[in-house]
Amino acid sequence: MASLKPVIVIGGLASTGSTTFAKKLTTALDLEYFYAGRIMRQLCVEFGLCTKEVAFSSEFNKFYKQFGRRLLEDDQFNKKVDERVLDLIRNATTPSAAEGRVTAALVTKAGIEVVIKVWIKADMADRVKRFRTKNPTFSGSDADIQELLLTRDRLERQQYLKQYDVDLFKPQEYNDIILDTTGLNLEQAYFKLIDNELFRERIKLLIPFYPNYDVVYRWKCLRCGYLYEGFVPVHICPRCGNIDEKQFQDL
Ligand SMILES: [Zn+2]
């Protein structure tokens, strides 16, 4: 497993909650976080499309509204964003999360081995709700939001089919886990994932990649009784893969 990259890949269609989900994992497991959105901002600066001040402030949303569609249709630009994400994954040496619509597919195609690839799924009614939460000032109806999301799905699907021969509507071809979060809040969806057997098996692979901190941690896994003493700063049970904060007792 010398070539394994210590990366968890998270993906999902727009407004499925994949970003929030990735952030949750990032905090829980003390991960570095690579996401296409940030890289896109960086590249906008590098391409001279906007200033650094605009790219990394709320001004960027205005900029994106104006030029986003053109960027989305610019194959060269998109390719650069995707390549940059892949490079970050290839060079990752510490536990990390990478989030992007097409990341899992590209990682698979490039033959890069990662810890696990998780696709977040939600039905349309839930996506509409999540869109509304994220865009509280949007004044359109639910039907408008649905139309917007469907259009976006279609456009993105076409784009990735053309560019990479990747079908966003077949995430099972590129992901290890398809996590259906329909009807679940973030917390519930998170627990559904960390209860997944494959996830618990694979998450153990992250352990050796944590840098040796000075502090020694001692805890008991309440799920399987494992006693840990070592330098890994997060709770991951090497025996059962438990990462549920509530199922550990610090000693
Ligand atoms: Zn355990």
The four Cα atoms 125, 128, 129, 135 give a dihedral, to 10 degrees, of 180
HSE on the CB side for 66, CA within 13 Å? 7
**Domain stops at, among 209, 226, 241:** 209
Quote the pLDDT of residue 8.
97
The four Cα atoms 96, 97, 102, 103 give a dihedral, to 10 degrees, of 10
pLDDT in tens, 56-97: 888 887 887 777 767 767 778 888 888 999 999 999 999 999
pLDDT in tens, 181-214: 999 999 999 999 999 999 999 999 999 999 988 8
The DSSP secondary-structure symbol of 33 reads E
What's the CATH number where 241 sits?
2.20.28.10
Cα separation of the two ends of the chain: 32
pLDDT band (50, 70, 90) for residue 222: very high
Quote the pLDDT of residue 43.
87
Shared-domain flag, residues 29 and 80: yes
Shared-domain flag, residues 159 and 222: no
Question: How many angstroms separate the alpha carbon of residue 248 from the centre of ligand 1?
Answer: 9
Shared-domain flag, residues 63 and 97: yes
Q: Residue 173 and residue 57: Cα distance in Å, rounded?
A: 36
Question: Percent of the chain, pLDDT > 70?
Answer: 98
Domain enclosing residue 250, as ranges? 212-251
Question: How many angstroms separate the alpha carbon of residue 30 from the centre of ligand 1?
Answer: 19
Question: How many angstroms separate the alpha carbon of residue 41 from the centre of ligand 1?
Answer: 40
Shared-domain flag, residues 164 and 117: yes
Q: 9 pairs with which residues across the strands?
A: 98, 117
Shared-domain flag, residues 98 and 141: yes
- Helix, strand, coil shares of the chain, percent, nearest 5, are 50, 15, 35
Question: How many angstroms separate the alpha carbon of residue 241 from the centre of ligand 1?
Answer: 6
Shared-domain flag, residues 247 and 169: no
Shared-domain flag, residues 170 and 186: yes
Shared-domain flag, residues 147 and 69: yes
Token pair listed for 245: 């904060």
Category of 12 on φ-ψ map: left (φ > 0), alpha (ψ -120 to 50) or beta: left
Question: How many angstroms separate the alpha carbon of residue 210 from the centre of ligand 1?
Answer: 18
pLDDT in tens, 11-58: 999 899 898 899 999 999 999 998 877 888 888 888 888 888 988 888
Question: How many angstroms separate the alpha carbon of residue 98 from the centre of ligand 1?
Answer: 26
What's the CATH number where 128 sits?
3.40.50.300
Mean pLDDT of 110-135: 95
The structural domain count of the chain equals: 2
Question: How many angstroms separate the alpha carbon of residue 193 from the centre of ligand 1?
Answer: 16
pLDDT band (50, 70, 90) for residue 2: low
Question: How many angstroms separate the alpha carbon of residue 90 from the centre of ligand 1?
Answer: 30
Shared-domain flag, residues 190 and 68: yes
Q: Residue 149 and residue 47: Cα distance in Å, rounded?
A: 28
Question: How many angstroms separate the alpha carbon of residue 221 from the centre of ligand 1?
Answer: 5
Question: How many angstroms separate the alpha carbon of residue 198 from the centre of ligand 1?
Answer: 14
- Only one residue has tokens 């494959």, namely 198
Question: How many angstroms separate the alpha carbon of residue 192 from the centre of ligand 1?
Answer: 17
Question: How many angstroms separate the alpha carbon of residue 226 from the centre of ligand 1?
Answer: 5
Using DSSP, state whether 215 is helix, strand or coil: coil
Q: Residue 190 and residue 246: Cα distance in Å, rounded?
A: 13
Question: How many angstroms separate the alpha carbon of residue 55 from the centre of ligand 1?
Answer: 43
Shared-domain flag, residues 134 and 66: yes
CB atoms near residue 233 (< 10 Å): 13
pLDDT band (50, 70, 90) for residue 1: very low
Shared-domain flag, residues 170 and 219: no
pLDDT band (50, 70, 90) for residue 7: very high
Question: How many angstroms separate the alpha carbon of residue 9 from the centre of ligand 1?
Answer: 23
pTM over 0.85: yes
Strand extents, DSSP E, the chain: 5-12, 32-35, 96-99, 114-121, 177-180, 217-221, 227-230, 248-250
Mean pLDDT of 135-142: 91
Instruction: Please determine, for residue 163, whether its predicted confidence score (pLDDT) is greater than 60.
Output: yes
Question: How many angstroms separate the alpha carbon of residue 56 from the centre of ligand 1?
Answer: 41
Quote the pLDDT of residue 131.
92
Shared-domain flag, residues 132 and 229: no
